[in-house]
Structure 1
């Protein structure tokens, strides 16, 4: 079972998500929160795999909460919980702020229930949301608004193979799809990608793609 925490200031929204997600079968709602500070406390208590985070909440925004959850996770050397932003705005400064804070994916509140469940599963597996249209649009617009003129010195540290893998990752390909494209094993892709992320100083796949867009290694399609 994938453990999920729901964060939204509207109780009716949380109740709706709970009904939809628990009906799926492999997802378990282990906690709810109505504000950012409450979300941090609930996550620390329940240790979920994924946090579905609203970003606009009058009792304390989701940006600060996301930043704290990611900081706690990084301090513990863990890969989970992942933060999935569930929002009504896909090209919004709050959403860009969540990306900077460490969110791994984005879905719109009016998405199909199965799309939400699939997004949660992908983040729990560590696959990221890079093939999801909202997330890719957010990344592209974020990169356009905050461009970096040229790749930094860290780009020169990447091997040609690592560069190819990061470029394909930015196109939304999974490790298995990258492996097929390069005629290598998925484990080889994972190893090269891990080394590339260490060189770039990026914490996850999504942050690596943001780097690729901002430096021009990848371009919006």
Structure 2
């Protein structure tokens, strides 16, 4: 983790390089990440060891990043908590977690906190970040098949103003989504619940509106990530 190869390619949104903030306990890691990302045309606007300072600089600083890359194990609060604090107040900044530990251990918690992805701090971390940062800069999950939501959808779930309004599914909507989650067809769901298929579709449309989902498959992903069907 001590060398960075210069690269002429510039990663940007529009005409300017993507602004990134880095958070890590280790000074050496911070310096290495900063040098490596800058050599690939990414504008690292700041690098912080202190998680409290990182939150302030992300939300209220002069150089607000488009993407925050944070280690999971920090000093004052965890990377999961840092992510939640940022997402609670902001719906656009992309957040990517990085960890030397098993990613599966933190994946669900980080997804619920509103991040767009989690990467392993292994020998491919720079290459992985170079691919992930442009997606996160647009608020998109870095892996469409993973447990992470886009920034705007995640903000609706994490934001205090959304408490009590998001995910309040009716008993019928919950029952229908549970059956869809078990791969039943609409007709099979209707038969099992003694409903007309049109009624099933009406309930699903209402559930989708409540969850902000574009289709029932996204509704099921949201329910899974936020444990709404448990």
- The TM-score with structure 2 as length reference comes to 0.57
Whether 1:29 aligns to 2:49 is no
Distance 1:57 1:155, change over 3 A: same
- Unaligned stretches of 5+ in structure 1? 74-78, 140-150, 158-194, 216-221
In 2, Cα distance between the equivalents of 1:81 and 1:22?
A: 19
CA distances 1:168-217 after superposition (whole Å, capped 9, x unpaired):
xxxxxxxxxxxxxxxxxxxxxxxxxxx98653157xxxx967426469xx
2:53 equivalent among 27, 32, 38? 38
Residue 139 of structure 2 is matched in structure 1 by 126
Distance 1:208 1:53, change over 3 A: farther
Residue 85 of structure 1 is matched in structure 2 by 97
In 2, Cα distance between the equivalents of 1:100 and 1:84?
A: 13
- The TM-score with structure 1 as length reference comes to 0.59
In 2, Cα distance between the equivalents of 1:15 and 1:68?
A: 25
Whether 1:20 aligns to 2:20 is no
Distance 1:210 1:85, change over 3 A: farther
In 2, Cα distance between the equivalents of 1:16 and 1:53?
A: 14
Residue 47 of structure 1 aligns to a residue whose secondary structure is coil
**Matched length:** 154
The CA deviation at 1:91 is: 1.3
Whether 1:153 aligns to 2:173 is yes
Residue 68 of structure 2 is matched in structure 1 by 51
Distance 1:152 1:54, change over 3 A: farther
What is the aligned-residue RMSD (CA, Å)?
3.3
* Greater radius of gyration (CA): 2
Q: Is the 8 A contact 1:3 1:50 kept in 2?
A: yes
Between structures 1 and 2, the one with greater helix share: 1
2:110 equivalent among 79, 83, 98? 98
